[in-house]
Amino acid sequence: MIRLRQVCIASPQITDADELAEIFGVNVAYRDPLIIEFGLENALLGFGGTFVEFIAPLKDGTTATRFLAKHPGGGGYMVIHDTDEYEKIRERIDAQGVRVAFESTPELRGAENNQADYGYDSFRHVQLDPRSVGGTLMEFNQTDGNEDYFGAYAPAGTRWQELVQGDDLPKIVAAECTSTDPDAMATTWATLMDKPVENEDGHAVINLDGGAVDRFVAGAANAFTRVFIEASDPEQVLERARAAGHEVAESEFEFCGVRFVIVPRAGTPAR
């Protein structure tokens, strides 16, 4: 199982997370107290069992600071997948010679840092150097008990389910990366996942478990640029975006350097 679980946006101020939560009518499900170790603060917005994370630097010299120097208004920072086959993926990473940017597992952290209070007693994750995977930082992670969307998911803490309730919540259904060579980028990601690259409307896609997809399109830069959100009432979301001062073009708007595309939930009647 490999699912699109979370996308991460780097922003100059963490309050952007609260604004996007208002637009989509969702809650901030978690703020990770441990991320301060990296000179960052964060906020995870709960989109059903999926998440949009915002990170903002608390000091100079962080990777997010360097990223924001190139993208002052914010931008797509990372695409995150959860899995129940971490060890197999880790073997493929080494076999392909993909560079690891950061890895944390119970064995690497040591017993004193595997806090059950934060869900870290089983959590393992690896972040891959963007230069090795087409230009976008990507992560694979695994938490024991993550088979269900509403099971354990350590990046959101241990009580996020209490704040992410209801069948009507919006949900991430696709992340799109722009690349100067989208086919090569898609092939790299797909090989790590042991999944095929398919074609959808002329674009390379990887169909993931849970129904979401990773999409790859041609462009002048290499970056995570768009996220597709399924909603029961797309027009209501878009109207709140307009009211907040964001220009809406057809079914999408830009927020912190990322295009948010709102798609109707399957079975939603047309207006």
Q: For 211-227, how does the pLDDT look when each residue is reduced to its tens digit (9 = 90+)?
A: 999 999 999 999 999 99
**Cα–Cα distance measured from residue 251 to residue 125, given in angstroms and rounded to the nearest whole number:** 34
Residue type, position 165, single letter? Q
Encoded tokens for 70 = 């190139």
Q: For 134-186, how does the pLDDT look when each residue is reduced to its tens digit (9 = 90+)?
A: 999 999 999 999 998 899 999 999 899 998 877 789 999 999 999 999 999 99
Q: For 1-58, how does the pLDDT look when each residue is reduced to its tens digit (9 = 90+)?
A: 999 999 999 999 999 999 999 999 999 999 999 899 889 999 999 998 999 999 999 9
Q: Which domains does the chain have, with CATH numbers?
A: 2-162 (3.10.180.10), 171-264 (2.60.40.4320)
Summary mean pLDDT of the chain? 93
Q: At what angle do helices 234-243 and 15-24 cross, to 10 degrees?
A: 140
**Cα–Cα distance measured from residue 195 to residue 207, given in angstroms and rounded to the nearest whole number:** 8
User: Taking Cα atoms as reference points, which of 39, 50, 47, 56 lies closest to residue 20?
Assistant: 47
User: Taking Cα atoms as reference points, which of 248, 240, 266, 224 lies closest to residue 75?
Assistant: 224
Q: What share of the chain is helix, strand, coil (3-state, %, to 5)?
A: 30, 35, 35
